[in-house]
Amino acid sequence: MIPTVDLKEDILLVEPKLLFGLPVDSFHVEENNVKANESLSDILTDRGVSSMVIDRIAHLPSSVFDLRKMKKGNEYAVFYSRDSLRNPLYFVYSEDDVNYYQYQLSFDSCNVIHGKNEVTTERKIVTGTINSSLWNAMKENNLDPMLAIHLSDLFAWTIDFFAIQKGDHFTVLYNQDYVKGEKIGIGLIHAAIFNSSGQDFYAIHFEQEDGQNYFDELGRSIRKEFLKAPLKFSRISSRFTAARMHPVLRIVRPHFGVDYAAATGTPVHTIGEGVVITRAYQPGGGGNFIKIRHNSVYTTTYMHLSKFASGIQTGTRVKQGDVIGYVGSTGLASGPHLDYRVFMNGFPIDPLKLKSPPADPVNDKNKPVFMLLRDKLLRELKNVNQEGSKKNATN
């Protein structure tokens, strides 16, 4: 009798390598970047896609993605069949590092799929010292320069980044995001300590019922509110618009502010704490005007003043609600009013749509949880130097 032998075959299952949700091994793939003035039709026609298919794709609902808005430099990929015909089967456009749109190049099924690349996150603790500027400190310490922008936004309400000094230093605990092993940006900042002029400023991320916010070590919001308006008793006579008939010049031009009609001499208040960076007279425009820098993000301008308040000079530090001037009609004005303007990162925004950040502290019922989180995060930040700088990003 011949003995039987059970043969067990070990099968090794290999995960297929995916690119934009498609198995790379099943296609010939061409990756490229959109060139200047290059359209979808240019790209697909050069790769043998019929005009009928291109027309079908171009008329897919723009609510998914409007391919007329493809940007120069953005990546795209064309997936071809692996046979000798090399037929184009899929076109994928990357809107950004995460979002992509996959188009099937078939007349019968010109559908589109909105996909997202997998984002992986690495938790990092980094430190740096200022020698010249925050941006240069990032470069000198081999850190992601975008972290400078995140930090300046985070501490905009507590630190004057126009006045930071050599020797100021920071420690930050944050998420670094990656797609396909490449850095795509800074994720959540968990906590940070910024030492400016010898004083430590804290930012601790904490979420409660009214949303996510950043607080100092005592649970106070590090963001401050703006007043809703610079006048206490007034009415709006003209709103923010890209096209307004100028009441004096009688021509249509933008009006990037809000006009408050009020009697000459009505007190004008600064909407927030800041520094007067301009106190001047502009004969053919704003007349007597004041410009205040509130932080590294926001500035406000107050125009057509009859006169300036006592003690208001360039360089004067003002507190929220301080009287800085009085309503008038100096400059190019048809009558007494205040032309009030708000700038965010140098660009005018509608003052009536200014979203003043919340200034509420951590709720009393959430304080115990906040304190535990605070202690844990601050231990990580303060121990980074004792543990060595090995945790710094090695970019």
Amino acid letter, 363: N
Looking at the domain assignment, is residue 177 inside a domain?
yes
154 and 109 part of one domain = no
86 and 44 part of one domain = yes
Question: What is the pLDDT, as a whole number, of residue 392?
Answer: 45
Which of 116, 141, 156 represents a domain boundary (last residue)? 116
89 and 174 part of one domain = no
133 and 197 part of one domain = yes
Number of domains in the chain: 3
Question: What is the pLDDT, as a whole number, of residue 247?
Answer: 52
Rounded Cα distance, 126 and 133, in Å = 17
Please check whether residue 136 is in contact with residue 353, taking contact to mean a CB–CB distance below 8 angstroms. Answer: no
248 and 200 part of one domain = no
109 and 71 part of one domain = yes
**Is 48 in a helix, a strand, or coil?**
coil
Residue 67 CB neighbour total at 10 angstroms = 20
CATH number of 326's domain: 2.70.70.10
Looking at the domain assignment, is residue 65 inside a domain?
yes
Question: What is the pLDDT, as a whole number, of residue 95?
Answer: 94
Classify strands 241-245 and 252-255 as parallel, antiparallel or unpaired.
antiparallel
Query: Which residue's structure tokens are 């609600």?
Result: 321
Question: What residues are paired with 270 via a beta bridge?
Answer: none
Looking at the domain assignment, is residue 7 inside a domain?
no
345 and 261 part of one domain = yes
Which of 62, 81, 116 represents a domain boundary (last residue)? 116
106 and 127 part of one domain = no
Q: Is the pTM of this model over 0.85?
A: no
Question: What is the pLDDT, as a whole number, of residue 59?
Answer: 82
41 and 145 part of one domain = no
Rounded Cα distance, 378 and 385, in Å = 12
Query: Which residue's structure tokens are 């010109």?
Result: 110
Question: What is the pLDDT, as a whole number, of residue 357?
Answer: 64
117-176 pLDDT per residue, tens: 999 999 999 999 999 888 888 888 888 888 988 898 888 778 877 678 899 999 999 999
Segments forming the whole domain that contains residue 110: 18-116
User: H-helix or E-strand containing 377?
Assistant: helix 367-387
Q: For residue 48, what are its two tokens?
A: 């043998």
Rounded Cα distance, 276 and 290, in Å = 7
Looking at the domain assignment, is residue 8 inside a domain?
no
Looking at the domain assignment, is residue 213 inside a domain?
yes
Question: What is the pLDDT, as a whole number, of residue 70?
Answer: 92
Q: For residue 153, what are its two tokens?
A: 């936004």
Backbone angles phi, psi at 379, to 5 degrees: -60, -45
Which of 100, 116, 132 represents a domain boundary (last residue)? 116
Question: What is the pLDDT, as a whole number, of residue 327?
Answer: 94
Q: Rounded to an integer, what is the distance from CA 309 to the centroid of its chain?
A: 36
Contacts of 22 (CB under 8 A, 6+ apart): 79, 90, 92, 102
CATH number of 187's domain: 3.10.450.350
259-278 pLDDT per residue, tens: 888 899 999 999 888 999 99
For residue 328, the 8-state DSSP code is B
Rounded Cα distance, 32 and 25, in Å = 18
Question: What residues are paired with 317 via a beta bridge?
Answer: 275
326-347 pLDDT per residue, tens: 999 998 887 898 999 999 888 8
Looking at the domain assignment, is residue 316 inside a domain?
yes
Looking at the domain assignment, is residue 371 inside a domain?
no
What stretches in the chain show pLDDT beneath 70? 1-14, 162, 233-234, 237, 239-255, 356-358, 385-395
Contacts of 303 (CB under 8 A, 6+ apart): 257, 282, 285, 286, 287, 288, 289, 331, 338, 339, 340, 341
349 and 244 part of one domain = yes
Question: What is the pLDDT, as a whole number, of residue 395?
Answer: 45
Closest to 113 measured CA to CA, from 96, 130, 124, 99: 99
58 and 157 part of one domain = no
Looking at the domain assignment, is residue 363 inside a domain?
no
User: H-helix or E-strand containing 135?
Assistant: helix 134-140
263 and 324 part of one domain = yes
